[in-house]
Amino acid sequence: MIRTPLAVFAAVSALGAACTIAPSPDGAVAPAVADSLPPPGFGTLRQEEISMTLQNQDLQILVTPLAESVILVTAPDTYERLRRIADQHRGDLP
């Protein structure tokens, strides 16, 4: 099956919309969730383990969630990198 770039874009957009979680007003994690999460720097997962790869012939897209509750479980270097990316783009969210 051959997919056009428009079909791939539509699929990625739909997936992104489906995976979006509304942020809390101040960007903090809910208290019940925060109690069960490790503190920053104690996670062990790599970015590849929390990301989803979409691939179509020559195009590969890596989708990584930037929610604090997700990146807290990543390894220290991954957490710092993803946290900086999330902070840089937080103002771009509607």
- What does the pLDDT look like over 22-73, one tens digit per residue? 555 555 555 555 567 788 888 999 999 999 999 999 999 999 999 998 999 9
| In the predicted structure, residue 94 carries a pLDDT above the cut 60 | yes
- Taking the chain, what is the end-to-end CA distance rounded to the nearest angstrom? 36
Total domains, the chain: 1
Maximum C-alpha span of the chain: 47
Task: Please report which residue ranges of the chain form alpha helices under DSSP H.
Answer: 5-19, 31-36, 47-50, 68-71, 76-89
Distance of alpha carbon 71 from alpha carbon 37, whole angstroms: 10
Average pLDDT, the chain: 78
Parent domain of 59: 5-92
pLDDT of residue 37: 77
